[in-house]
């Protein structure tokens, strides 16, 4: 939740900064620019989230846990068979 709030505050600060830089832009141009900036930020955020998720999935702890659970399931199947 804190990350979303921080991103929202940063986006608002960035918009205020860009508006102060070029006062001759029309409202339409500002919305277009803002949409492009949000798209770029979301792409970067999505790539980072994907990389983090992949790192978590391939971590030693995750691999060891999956192997342990699979061994336990195989043992249980062998006992029941």
What 3 state SS string does the chain have? CHHHHHHHHHHHHHHHHHHHHCCCCCHHHHHHHHHHHHHHHHHHHHHHHHHHHHHHHCCHHHHHHHHHHHHHHHHHHHHHC
pLDDT in tens, the chain (81 residues): 567 777 777 777 777 776 666 566 678 888 888 889 989 998 999 999 999 999 999 999 999 999 999 999 999 999 998
Place of tokens 């192997």: 67
C-alpha distances out from residue 5 to 1, 36, 39, 53, 71, Å: 7, 20, 18, 21, 42
């Amino acid at each position: 939740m804190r990350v979303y709030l921080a991103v929202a505050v940063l986006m608002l600060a960035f918009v205020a900064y860009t508006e102060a830089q070029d006062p001759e832009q029309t409202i339409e141009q500002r919305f277009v620019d803002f949409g492009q900036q949000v798209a770029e930020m979301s792409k970067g955020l999505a790539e980072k989230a994907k990389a983090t998720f992949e790192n978590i999935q391939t971590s030693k702890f995750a691999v060891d846990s999956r192997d342990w659970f699979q061994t336990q399931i195989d043992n249980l199947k062998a006992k029941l068979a």
